Amino acid sequence: MENAGKHASTRSVCALLLLSAGALTLAMGPAPRSAAQDTAQASAAASAQTQPSQAGASAALNASASSGLPAGTVVHAELTSSVDAKKAKPGDTVSARATEAVKIAGRVVVPKGTRLVGHVERASARAKGDAESALAIVFDRAYLKHGEELALNMSIQAMAAPRTPLSGADMDMEASGAASGAVTQSSMGSPRGALGGVASAAGAAAGGVASTAGSAAGAAQETLDTAARSTVGAATSSGAAGGLNAAGELTSSSRGVFGLSGLSLSSAASGSAGAGVITSAGKNIHLDSGTRLLLASQTNAAAGSN
């Protein structure tokens, strides 16, 4: 009986301790959160807020890739192969490359150098009795990196003659300047003493030749650029607007033909929407590789793609 009483007393004490601990816990409230837990919760909340905006941006870019560039977007490009109205047929492929990157919402959607592919909509040679030669081209695809393809519906808004390359003499002059510069560096590293003094003098002379050659090459290029702009101005089609900027690119607001004598550019009255029609009343149309283009996106890219 005595042992039973001791056990009962022990159980009563344990129960009282448990009740006291529970009451103390309720009075103190939940355990305080650590700084690491607070940081983790804040990070999760920030991530949850960021993900919708990123998803929206990705959706916008994906929509752009599937439906083409927004209407009015312009792409600076140049032909990578020649096109001749006498030989071309409707449906023939026309290739070009982007010479400047195109950005939408601050992100590059068409990188510089992107391959652009289009097709001939109309081609007619100026035969005996014909009033003019005509050529219409529409660009409907851009091939991006990693095999991605962008649907386009772009017509030619403006065009200009190919860039004027440096002549052989100018290229030799640039090479001579580079070689002279190398001699200068080599001479400056010669041994000390009398031989070093001679080498230093020779290096200074070579440096002067390099500077003169470089200046002459730069002046030659500037002369070529000036001449090219003068030629463009002299051969501007009637009704053309804008022209070339200091970098030799067509301005984004340019319209018409620059530097290609006898050619005119107008919007198509029929056929595919927005197809630019190039015409010539005096000769058959021939566009050389390197011809500069300003392409403008039309309303519906899906309608312009094959």
Q: Residue 135 maps to which CATH number?
A: 2.40.128.260
Are 141 and 189 contained in the same domain? Answer: no
Q: Are 175 and 214 in contact (CB under 8 A)?
A: no
Are 74 and 210 contained in the same domain? Answer: no
- Whether 189 is covered by a domain: the verdict is yes
Are 154 and 194 contained in the same domain? Answer: no
Are 74 and 103 contained in the same domain? Answer: yes
Q: Are 64 and 109 in contact (CB under 8 A)?
A: yes
How does pLDDT run across 200-217, given as a tens digit for each residue? 544 554 455 445 545 544
294: confidence class by pLDDT, cuts 50, 70, 90: very high
pTM: predicted TM-score of the whole model, two decimal places:
0.59
Number of Cβ within a 10 Å radius of residue 99:
19
- Whether 279 is covered by a domain: the verdict is yes
Number of Cβ within a 10 Å radius of residue 256:
22
- Whether 37 is covered by a domain: the verdict is no
Q: Are 203 and 188 in contact (CB under 8 A)?
A: yes
For the chain, the domain total comes to 2
Beta carbons within 8 Å of 28's beta carbon, 6+ residues apart: none
Whether residue 145 has pLDDT greater than 50: yes
User: Which of 9-18, 44-53, 83-92 is the most confident on average?
Assistant: 83-92
- Whether 26 is covered by a domain: the verdict is no
Cα 256 to Cα 38: distance, rounded to the nearest angstrom: 63
Q: Which domain holds residue 203?
A: 175-221
Range with lowest mean pLDDT among 92-101, 156-165, 259-268: 259-268
Whether residue 305 has pLDDT greater than 50: no
Are 155 and 264 contained in the same domain? Answer: yes
Are 261 and 291 contained in the same domain? Answer: yes
CA nearest neighbour of 293 among 246, 225, 244, 247 = 244
Sort 266 into a burial class: Cβ within 10 Å, 0-12 / 13-18 / 19+.
Answer: middle
Whether residue 37 has pLDDT greater than 80: no
Q: Are 174 and 213 in contact (CB under 8 A)?
A: yes
- Whether 268 is covered by a domain: the verdict is yes
Q: What residue type is assigned to position 159 of the chain? A: M
pLDDT at 24 (0 to 100): 56
Are 85 and 134 contained in the same domain? Answer: yes
Cα 62 to Cα 46: distance, rounded to the nearest angstrom: 24
Are 91 and 213 contained in the same domain? Answer: no
Are 205 and 241 contained in the same domain? Answer: no
Are 253 and 299 contained in the same domain? Answer: yes
How does pLDDT run across 101-116, given as a tens digit for each residue? 999 999 999 999 999 9
* Mean pLDDT within 262-281: 72
Are 286 and 250 contained in the same domain? Answer: yes
Whether residue 250 has pLDDT greater than 80: yes
User: Which of 11-20, 165-174, 187-196, 213-222 is the most confident on average?
Assistant: 11-20
Beta carbons within 8 Å of 236's beta carbon, 6+ residues apart: 243, 256, 257, 258, 259
- Whether 142 is covered by a domain: the verdict is yes
68: confidence class by pLDDT, cuts 50, 70, 90: confident
246: confidence class by pLDDT, cuts 50, 70, 90: confident
Cα 264 to Cα 35: distance, rounded to the nearest angstrom: 72
Query: Quick one: three-class SS letters along the chain?
Result: CHHHHHHHHHHHHHHHHHHHHHHHHHHHCCCCCCHHHHHHHHHHHHHHHHHHHHHHHHHHHHHHHHHCCCCCCEEEEEECCCEECCCCCCCCEEEEEECCCEEECCEEEECCCCEEEEEEEEEECCCCCCCCEEEEEEEEEEECHHHCEEEEEEEEEEEECCCCCCCHHHHHHHHHHHHHHHHHHHHHCCCCCHHHHHHHHHHHHHHHHHHHHHHHHHHHHHHHHHHHHHHHHHCCCCCCECCECCCCCECCCCEEEECCCCEEEEECCCCCCCCEEEEECCCCCEECCCCEEEEEECCCHHHHCC
* Mean pLDDT within 173-197: 48
- Whether 42 is covered by a domain: the verdict is no
- Work out the end-to-end distance of the chain between its first and last CA atoms, rounded to an integer number of angstroms: 102
pLDDT at 271 (0 to 100): 43
- Whether 129 is covered by a domain: the verdict is yes
Are 132 and 271 contained in the same domain? Answer: yes
Whether residue 90 has pLDDT greater than 70: yes
